[in-house]
A and B are shown apart, each in its own frame.
Chain A
Amino acid sequence: DAGVIQSPRHEVTEMGQEVTLRCKPISGHNSLFWYRQTMMRGLELLIYFNNNVPIDDSGMPEDRFSAKMPNASFSTLKIQPSEPRDSAVYFCASRDSRNEKLFFGSGTQLSVL
């Protein structure tokens, strides 16, 4: 299996632009998570899905952030409009429900200028 695949690896954009991050979870995993990592706040859970349904989005910082999971093999995290304080590494992870183990993607480094 190729693991959790995130794209793009790096994204540089200007303030006010829309940003879309993508994630393909491991086949067969029924839970998907979006995390954000910053120097100031460390690793934060933004939202997670079970069977493509959003379960808890209390970690989403603002209405500018939205996430979707239209099917079991794809999820997006969108920021519109983006702001410089959104600059961070965004990780997607999927979970093997048999042993609670999380598998992380390599992350997307987002820089908002």
Chain B
Amino acid sequence: AQSVTQPDIHITVSEGASLELRCNYSYGATPYLFWYVQSPGQGLQLLLKYFSGDTLVQGIKGFEAEFKRSQSSFNLRKPSVHWSDAAEYFCAVGARAGNMLTFGGGTRLMVKP
């Protein structure tokens, strides 16, 4: 069975500091990997996704993520956090030909002025 673990429930960073959100997955085949962001009162928005090819993927809002197969990880990074990045972030894994995504528990990001 597939599973996704986001070890950090809450993270607080100062504005302008760098950010890394961790995501580890368990999956028996080649995964599709996603990062979604949920801002307060909003739905989920796709930040970026990895299907194949270059293991470093660029997304919207200055985010990037690196797929490391040996570590079963897909960590999300941003070099300089803005106050508007405060939100909840979800990592998800799915099958190449399937329809179902498994989500991690989410990481709530708070940004200090």
Contact = CB atoms under 8 A, between A and B. Distances in A.
Contacts of A6: 43
A96 to B, nearest CB: 11
Contact of B49 (A31, A33, A91, A101): A101
B42 interface: yes
Contacts of B103: 42-43
A100 B94 contact: yes
Interface centre among B44, B45, B90, B104 (most CB of A within 10 A): B44
B17 interface: no
A55 interface: yes
A13 interface: no
B46 A101 contact: yes
Contacts of B43: 4, 6, 91, 104-107
Contacts, number: 44
A45 interface: yes
A50 interface: yes
Interface string A29-62: 0010100000000110100101000011000000
Nearest to B42: A106
Interface of B: 32, 34, 36, 41-46, 49, 51, 90, 94, 99-106
A: contact size bracket: 20 to 34
B99 A31 contact: yes
A14 to B, nearest CB: 24
A110 B101 CA distance: 23
Contacts of B100: 45, 48, 56
A48 B105 contact: no
A43 B46 contact: no
Contact of B99 (A4, A48, A104, A106): A48
A24 interface: no
A95 interface: yes
Contact of B90 (A4, A43, A95, A100): A43
A95 B34 CA distance: 14
Contacts of A48: 99-100
Nearest to B102: A45
B106 A42 contact: yes
